[in-house]
Amino acid sequence: MHRISSAFEADLHDVAATRRIEHRTAAGLPAHALMQRAGLAVARLAGALAPHARSIWIACGPGNNGGDGLEAAAWLRRRGVDVLVTWLGDERRLPPDAAASLARARAAGVVFAARPPDNYDLAIDALLGIGATRPPEGAMAEWLWRMSEGPAPVLCVDVPSGLDADTGHLVAGPTAATPQAAGSRRHCLSLLTLKPGLFTAHGRDAAGEVWFDDLDCPPGDEAPVARLAGAPAPRMRAHATNKGSHGDVAVVGGAAGMAGAPLLAATAALHAGAGRVFVAPLDGKASMLDASRPELMFRRLVDIRLETVAVVCGCGGGDAVRTVLPRILAQTPTLVLDADALNAVAGDASLRAAVRRRAARGWRTVLTPHPLEAARLLGTDVGEVQADRLAAALRLALDYGCVAVLKGSGTVVAAPDETIRINPTGNGLLATAGTGDVLAGMVGAALAAGRPALEAACAAVWRHGDIADRWPAHQPLTAGALAMAV
């Protein structure tokens, strides 16, 4: 069993692959052995999370996820723990494995009740698992609400009930797992495989701390649908280098009234290791010096050799960015498109075509949209993007022939012909103006250093989130402080 940390790199399998692994493995084991392994794993983690628990409430559903909970109840009761099970099953319709676990729970002396206990030291959600297809109703919804709002820790078996294991979409609505219930109070033990929905969209709040047990069942030849991005390998600089060895970044943006955005991106690029950073303001009246960052070199865009630098375009660009994008798209082999540059591309067919032509030339392009910008690029709405973030990111990558960084909880990074990556770092402290500009600058610096586009995007996104994870939770994290912390 492993606790999944932000440095952990692992394959993620969807529900279809998980079911194939389950069926293949179960066929080679004695009857009910796989559910017994699952129940034992749940019981062991419950004992580790609440070693002094006097009473444990286990809410069991009508299928095999409930069977895992019943099996865990039997193991815990045999160890002397007071276990109360609320069960929504029907003995006449139980799957064989779950029926066997029900018999073992009864034989162990587990107490069954129609209502949850008033007091308990740990709650175990074994209601739906990967079987969530519609919002829970009635008693199930009430029990999920009680777990979410109660003071005791919650352990979810396989997947938090109501969470789509493939997408992280919360089909149950806010009653299943509110943001207030996340963190140290919530835990999820993913069985057989790690599921992508645990790490993006609502999954991170619903699951809390994720644990994994493969139940001694390797995935075999099942291809992952995505991969959890681990910590990037550190890059040491050789002594015999100079500023030209580490690449140049040019930040293009800052229309009238939005001068701060390109400065945030440029500062981040500087601190992320770029050898030189240029700023090309789109406001003709903008100052050509930042006294607080004298390392930044201001230039007119016409004076920058676009073919020799990694360009970060769009931060605070406003409508003015539309006039410079055709030249940038046609002359810059290494490019990050962010913010207003993305909106310009979304609204102009000729710019969209120009982005696509870059792939045919072998040029590196990284798009860094938030969900609304992604929706505009895809001609859809935010709800559809957020309902399946992996699919949206992959569609962006394929449509535009680029690396797409779909920002948000569990940022998704996709590229054509590559396994999708989901980033495990970051938190709500990043939900403030300007942090996206910082990320764009970091991606630009990684590209300028010569990294392949997918590697550069993944490394920058991981580091960006890791800074927020290390930031004191009680202190606001401004974009300016984030850029300096890079």
- pLDDT tens per residue, range 277-296: 999 999 977 888 787 888 99
CA distances from 257 to 281, 285, 322, 404 (A): 11, 10, 17, 28
Provide the pLDDT confidence category of residue 236 given band limits of 50, 70 and 90. confident
pLDDT at 239: 85
pLDDT digits (tens, 9 = 90+) for 119-166: 999 999 999 999 777 788 899 999 999 999 999 999 999 999 999 999
Decide if 215 contacts 37 (C-beta within 8 A): yes
Domains of the chain: 2-225 (3.40.50.10260), 243-485 (3.40.1190.20)
CA distance 170 to 147: 16
Please tell me the total number of residues recorded for the chain in this structure: 486
Question: Locate tokens 């895992």: which residue?
Answer: 68
Q: What is the mean pLDDT of residues 50-68?
A: 96
CA torsion, points 203, 206, 210, 214, in degrees to nearest 10? -70
DSSP 353: H
> Which range is least confidently modeled, 99-108, 178-187, 290-299, 339-348?
178-187
pLDDT at 287: 83
- Answer yes or no: is pLDDT of 458 > 60: yes
Strand, coil or helix: 119: coil
Question: Locate tokens 């559910």: which residue?
Answer: 35
CA distances from 14 to 25, 390, 423, 424 (A): 17, 11, 17, 17
> Which range is least confidently modeled, 37-46, 252-261, 283-292, 386-395?
283-292
CA distance 310 to 306: 8
Decide if 336 contacts 251 (C-beta within 8 A): no
Provide the pLDDT confidence category of residue 242 given band limits of 50, 70 and 90. confident
DSSP 29: S
Angle at 448 between CA 446 and CA 452, to 5 degrees: 60
pLDDT at 29: 94
Parallel, antiparallel, or unpaired: how do β-strands 248-253 and 55-60 relate?
unpaired
> Which range is least confidently modeled, 177-181, 197-201, 447-451?
177-181
Give the mean pLDDT of the chain.
Answer: 94
- Answer yes or no: is pLDDT of 182 > 60: no
Provide the pLDDT confidence category of residue 184 given band limits of 50, 70 and 90. low
Provide the pLDDT confidence category of residue 238 given band limits of 50, 70 and 90. confident
Q: What is the mean pLDDT of residues 76-103?
A: 95
pLDDT at 285: 78
Q: What is the mean pLDDT of residues 317-343?
A: 97
pLDDT at 173: 55
Q: What is the mean pLDDT of residues 17-39?
A: 95
Instruction: List the structure tokens of 283.
Output: 């406001």
- Answer yes or no: is pLDDT of 179 > 60: no
DSSP string, 120-137: -SEEEEES-GGG--S---
Provide the pLDDT confidence category of residue 181 given band limits of 50, 70 and 90. very low
- Answer yes or no: is pLDDT of 455 > 70: yes
% the chain with pLDDT above 70? 97
Phi, psi of 422 (to 5 degrees): -120, 130
pLDDT at 172: 64
Q: What is the mean pLDDT of residues 29-35?
A: 95
Instruction: List the structure tokens of 314.
Output: 């769009």
- Pick 218 or 391 by higher pLDDT: 391
Global pTM reads: 0.95
Of the candidates 86, 85, 214, the one whose C-alpha atom is nearest the C-alpha of residue 141 is 86
Q: What is the mean pLDDT of residues 388-417?
A: 98
- Answer yes or no: is pLDDT of 175 > 80: no
pLDDT at 52: 94
